[in-house]
Structure 1
């Protein structure tokens, strides 16, 4: 009986602590990025959010957002493994006014925020590093390359960013 209760407890805990339906999980903006309509400065931000479902207990997903001075939108760069199943590169770039969207139910946190003249100076270096990312068409959960390898690699190529990846950014060490 005790074993049955333990199994039921774990099952309930897994169900309660994970969003098993990615299609309905929140992708709303978190409201932590500077608004491009009112903030005209250049911006660089790196975000981390718990990975989807139970994986979020152990790991985060990270991405980079840049906004040129006076730009109306951010460029977001991230690596997403499921794109490979559709024949697309894992490295994805898109433009949006809201780079701080929830990662399938998980609220993002800022790992890095640089604004103004320094950001404007570093954005071309980030763009150059993104263009030369060596694993754009690869994704492996462990040990990498994955979504955390990408920002770590950009951070190595643009050391002035001072990017410090969190301990649970599994795969970030692959960039070394």
Structure 2
């Protein structure tokens, strides 16, 4: 009984209270009443393709709509080959054929929420990775009509996470607010990075943990994530995402923002 009470207290303090605070904060934010009234236009976050001749791979995210936005972002992928005149954007959505190409502007707002760049890889490295990313998109197992589950998945974040796991050289994890990123089919799933630098255990996407260079240390409960990023020091707080412990330097063309 004592263990049960301590477990409940732990879940309350680590997951329920932060998520409730985020819900309260989000409830007083101004936001559109429906997808019809939302702004889906280009945000200007990405450079104009004609002015940036380098190849590029972007992972992007923005808070999603309704009260879901208190706890989760929507994520997507943007690709551009060298000297290309435009971007190619790939999302998974909850209607029709779920995996979409260029259904929205590359850096379009999502339910009026301005996106941010989770990571950016440019130049020769991006050119090398683009075929791998395209192959990972094509191999996504939940790409048919009906292959969408809002919670615990497979949803938009499950799709992006699949690509990031498949193309290990992208070397990035989705934000802790990307609910659905830790979904794995089945009651129990275990997987790891090819070099064992990251390991993941999932119980139907409802609970689990991750540990490694990419994930740091994470506990997952009902799609929420709490933990510690060691490589780029930050706390991972349910609903609020990353809370930077101190500014961290990034190297080369790869950028990992603190949001």
Report the TM-score range of the alignment, normalised by the length of the smaller protein: 0.7 to 0.9
Higher RCO, 1 vs 2 (CA within 8 Å, ≥6 residues apart): 1
The answer to whether the aligner puts 1:166 opposite 2:179 as a matched pair is no
More helix by share: 1
Task: Structure 1: state its 5+ residue gaps.
Answer: 1-9
Cα distance between partner residues in 2 of 1:95 and 1:40? 23
Q: CA deviation at 1:61?
A: 0.4
Deviates more, 1:25-34 or 1:51-60: 25-34
Which residue does 1:35 correspond to in 2? 48
Runs of 4+ in 1 over 3 A off after TM superposition: 13-18
Which one of the candidate residues 74, 77, 82 is aligned to 1:61? 74
Name the count of aligned residue pairs.
160
Cα distance between partner residues in 2 of 1:141 and 1:44? 26
Q: CA deviation at 1:163?
A: 2.0
TM-score where L is the length of structure 1? 0.84
Which residue does 2:251 correspond to in 1? none
* Contact preservation (8 Å) 1:29, 1:102: yes
Q: CA deviation at 1:32?
A: 1.5
* Contact preservation (8 Å) 1:18, 1:54: no
Which one of the candidate residues 64, 85, 93 is aligned to 2:101? 93
Q: CA deviation at 1:24?
A: 2.2
Q: CA deviation at 1:54?
A: 1.3
Which residue does 1:6 correspond to in 2? none
Cα distance between partner residues in 1 of 2:142 and 2:103? 21
Q: CA offsets per residue over residues 96-132 of structure 1, 9 Å max, x none?
A: 7x41110021110110101110000000000001111
The answer to whether the aligner puts 1:120 opposite 2:133 as a matched pair is no
Cα distance between partner residues in 1 of 2:29 and 2:154? 30
Alignment CA distance shift 1:44-1:95 (3 Å): farther
Q: CA deviation at 1:164?
A: 1.4
The answer to whether the aligner puts 1:22 opposite 2:22 as a matched pair is no
Cα distance between partner residues in 1 of 2:29 and 2:45? 26
Cα distance between partner residues in 1 of 2:140 and 2:28? 37
Q: CA deviation at 1:28?
A: 2.1
